[in-house]
Structure 1
Amino acid sequence: MSLKTISRDTFRNWLGDGEELAVLDIRDPAVVGYASPLFATNLPAERLTKELGHFVPRKVVRTVLADGGEGAAARLADELAVSGWPNVFALDGGIPAWTANNDGAPLPTFDTPGVDFTVAVQQEKNTPVISAGELKTLRDAGEDVVVIDTRTVAEFAHEHVPDAVSVPGAELLLRFKDVVPSDKTKVIVSCAGLPRAILGAQTLIDAKVPNQVSYLHDGTKAWTAAGLRLETGKTRIYGEASQTALDFARRYIETLSRDDRFPEIDVTTARKWAADPERTTYLLDVRTPEEFERSHLDGTLSSEGGQLLGVAYRTIAVRGARVVLIDDLLGARARTVAHWLQRRGYEIAILLVDFQAGKLSEVA
C-alpha cells in the first residue's frame, strides 16, 4: 500500500474522530448518480487538480479521495503531494472496497443523507402530505391550489408537475406573496422526490404563513407513477420580488428564525476567518446565481440556498468547517438555510451585505 493510501479501518476512524476532514468521490457524475454512498462531495478526477481549492480551502486539511477501485485516487494523491497538498490520501480499493464485505452492518457516511434527515423532520413535525391522486382530484374539482417546485430552475425546466411554478427552496419566503397572493390558496410543495419538498413545506409552516401547506409525496416520481404526464420548459418562473413580497418575507422570516441563534458578522470578520490558518471557513453566497453574477464579494462561492438545504455535501466538502451564509440585507435566504443546516450539525454565521451600494469590500 502506498504511503498516500489509507485502509478502510483508518478511514472509519477518521470519520468519527471529530477533526476537520474532506471526502471527495472522484468518480464520473453519471456513475455516482444522485449521491455517493458516502454522501461525500463528487468532484470528478479530471476536474480535481483545478477545482480542489474551491472545495477544500486549506491545503493542510486531511482529504480522502475515493475512486472506482482502478487506482486513479492514489495517482492523484501523489501528484497533489508534489504540488503542495501534503494531506491528500486515497481510500484503499475505493468505493467498491468501502461498500463490500460489511456483514450487513450500516456503514458510516461523511454527511447525513438528505432523505434520512428530511424524513426525520417530517416525522417530528408531522408535515402534511398529499398524494399525486389527491392533487389531481383537487385540480379536477376546481380548487384554488398552487404547486411550488423547490428544485433549481434547470431541474424544473427538465420536467415538472403541470402548471407548477418554480421557486427554489431558499427563495420560498422571499417570493411567496407574488406566487400565492391569496391566503385561501392551498399550497403544495414539490420536488423530484422527498427532501426539498418536505423542507420547503415545513419552512412555510414554521414561518406560519396563513395558507394551508402540504408537500407532494415523491414529487414528480409519484406523478409519473400515477400515469400522469409531466410538463417541460421554463413555463412559470419566479420573478423579481415586489415590495409586497419583500414586506411579507421580512415579517415571516422573523417568525421562522425566532428561536434560531446565529452570529451576524461583518466583512472584516469574514476576511479574518477565511485567512485563519487553523480553521476552514466557507463563504457561501446563497442568493440566486443571477444575483451572484451581477454583484458579489470577492473570494466567495455561489451556492444556491435551495441546494444547500437538501444536498449540502455537494458544496461543503470539509466536515467541521465554519459556514458563513451571505445574503442581501433582508437575509431571508440565509436565515432559511441556517434554520435547517444548524440542525445537521453545521456551525453557521450570517453575513448580510448591501449589494446595491456598489462598494463591496473584498473578502480574501
Structure 2
Amino acid sequence: MVGEIDAGALRAAFDDGAELAVIDVREEGVFGMNHLLRAANIPLSGIELSIRDFVPRRATRIVLIDDNDGLAPRAAQVLAAAGYGDLAILKGGVSGWADAGYELFSGMNVPSKVFGEHIEHHCGTPNISAQALKQKIDAGENMVVLDSRPMDEFNRMSIPGGIDAPGAELVRHVMDLATDPDTLVVVNCAGRTRSIIGAQSLINAGTRNRVMALTNGTMGWHLAGLKLEHKATRTFGAVSKGALD
C-alpha cells in the first residue's frame, strides 16, 4: 500500500540520515518552473525505463511528487509493479510543500549551480569575460583555453582553439597542456558552474599558472556575438613523467 507523507515529515526525513529518493514525476518543463531543491526529475512518461539507473536498490525509501494532479499515484503503481516496496506520495504535491512554508526553486540542475556560485563567492575565483578573452586570443597572448566538459559537448561547440580536459582531467593534465608557468589558463564550460569548479580546482591544487574561469562559458561567447568552433576534437595526451612528479 502506498501512503502519503506531509511536507513537515518529508523535511524531517531529509535530515534523518536514512536513504531517501525524492522523485518529481512531472515533465521536465513543468519541473523546471517550481520544484523541491533535493528532488530528482524522472517524468512519469519514462520512469519505467529510467528508475533502475536512479534507484537501483528496490528497498530504497521513495517519495513521489506531482502537482497534486494524479501523476504520483500512477507512478507509484509503475514502481510497485517493478518491485519497489517503500513508496509514499507527498501530500498536496509541490503546492503542499509551498503551503507549509518551504521554498520551491526554478531552473534545472539547481544544487550544482548553487554550489558553483558559492565557490566563486567564497573563494573569489578569478574570471574573464568573452570579449576580454577574444582580445587576448587575437593578440596572440601566451594562454590556453581548457574546456571542462565531456568530449561530446566539446565537439558540439567550443571556444576556438580550446582543448578538451573534462572534470578532474584538468588537474591531471594542466602541466602538460600549459608547459610554460607564465601561460594563462582559462577554463570554460557551456555556462558557469563547471568553469568555476574547474578553475578553482586548479587553483586549490596549487597550479603554478594563473587561472581564470570564462564568464558564462560558450553561452556567454555566443551572446557576445563571437563565433564558436564546431566538431573540434583536440584533447590531452598521455601524462608526462614531469607532470606526475
Q: Same fold judged by TM-score > 0.5?
A: yes
Secondary structure of 2:18 counterpart:
coil
8 Å Cα contact 1:175-1:238 kept in structure 2: no
Question: Shift of residue 144 of structure 1?
Answer: 1.4
8 Å Cα contact 2:144-2:185 kept in structure 1: yes
Q: Note closer, same or farther for the CA distance 1:83–1:120 as it changes in structure 2 (3 Å cut).
A: closer
Map 1:191-340 → 2, pairs under 5 A = 191-233=189-231, 235-244=232-241, 247-248=242-243, 250-251=244-245
8 Å Cα contact 2:63-2:89 kept in structure 1: yes
Report the AA paired with residue 106 of structure 1.
E
Runs of 4+ with >6 A deviation? none
Query: In structure 2, what is the equivalent of residue 20 of structure 1?
Result: 19
8 Å Cα contact 1:27-1:67 kept in structure 2: yes
8 Å Cα contact 2:35-2:105 kept in structure 1: no
What is the alpha-carbon distance in structure 1 between the residues aligned to residue 169 and residue 34 of structure 2?
A: 24
What is the alpha-carbon distance in structure 1 between the residues aligned to residue 48 and residue 235 of structure 2?
A: 37
Question: Shift of residue 64 of structure 1?
Answer: 1.5
Map 1:93-242 → 2, pairs under 5 A = 93-95=92-94, 97=95, 100-101=98-99, 106-107=103-104, 113-233=111-231, 235-242=232-239
Question: Shift of residue 199 of structure 1?
Answer: 0.9
What is the alpha-carbon distance in structure 2 between the residues aligned to residue 174 and residue 35 of structure 1?
A: 38
Question: Shift of residue 214 of structure 1?
Answer: 0.7
Secondary structure of 1:113 counterpart:
helix
After TM superposition, the score normalised by the length of structure 2 is: 0.83
Q: Note closer, same or farther for the CA distance 1:93–1:162 as it changes in structure 2 (3 Å cut).
A: farther
Q: Which deviations, in whole Å up to 9, do the C-alpha atoms of 1:292-324 show, x marking residues without a partner? A: xxxxxxxxxxxxxxxxxxxxxxxxxxxxxxxxx
Q: Note closer, same or farther for the CA distance 1:214–1:179 as it changes in structure 2 (3 Å cut).
A: same
Question: Shift of residue 203 of structure 1?
Answer: 0.9
Question: Shift of residue 154 of structure 1?
Answer: 2.0
Secondary structure of 1:173 counterpart:
helix
What is the alpha-carbon distance in structure 2 between the residues aligned to residue 156 and residue 69 of structure 1?
A: 40
After TM superposition, the score normalised by the length of structure 1 is: 0.58
What is the alpha-carbon distance in structure 2 between the residues aligned to residue 34 and residue 189 of structure 1?
A: 30
Question: Shift of residue 34 of structure 1?
Answer: 11
Query: In structure 2, what is the equivalent of residue 297 of structure 1?
Result: none
> How many percent identity over aligned positions?
36
Question: Shift of residue 82 of structure 1?
Answer: 4.5
- The worse-fitting range, judged by mean Cα deviation, of 65-74 and 223-232 is 65-74
8 Å Cα contact 2:128-2:213 kept in structure 1: yes
Q: Which deviations, in whole Å up to 9, do the C-alpha atoms of 1:237-260 show, x marking residues without a partner? A: 31442434xx51x44xxxxxxxxx
Q: Does 1:76 align with 2:75?
A: yes
Question: Shift of residue 3 of structure 1?
Answer: 4.2
Report the AA paired with residue 150 of structure 1.
S
What is the alpha-carbon distance in structure 2 between the residues aligned to residue 62 and residue 34 of structure 1?
A: 26
What is the alpha-carbon distance in structure 2 between the residues aligned to residue 35 and residue 142 of structure 1?
A: 46
Report the AA paired with residue 226 of structure 2.
L
What is the alpha-carbon distance in structure 2 between the residues aligned to residue 156 and residue 181 of structure 1?
A: 22
Secondary structure of 1:169 counterpart:
coil
- The worse-fitting range, judged by mean Cα deviation, of 2-11 and 173-182 is 2-11
Secondary structure of 2:144 counterpart:
strand
What is the alpha-carbon distance in structure 1 between the residues aligned to residue 4 and residue 168 of structure 2?
A: 39
Report the AA paired with residue 232 of structure 1.
H
What is the alpha-carbon distance in structure 1 between the residues aligned to residue 117 and residue 203 of structure 2?
A: 16
Report the AA paired with residue 206 of structure 1.
N
Q: Note closer, same or farther for the CA distance 1:82–1:228 as it changes in structure 2 (3 Å cut).
A: closer
Question: Shift of residue 101 of structure 1?
Answer: 4.8
What is the alpha-carbon distance in structure 2 between the residues aligned to residue 170 and residue 114 of structure 1?
A: 16
8 Å Cα contact 1:24-1:42 kept in structure 2: yes
Q: Note closer, same or farther for the CA distance 1:82–1:236 as it changes in structure 2 (3 Å cut).
A: closer
How many residues of Structure 1 are paired with residues of Structure 2 in the alignment? 243
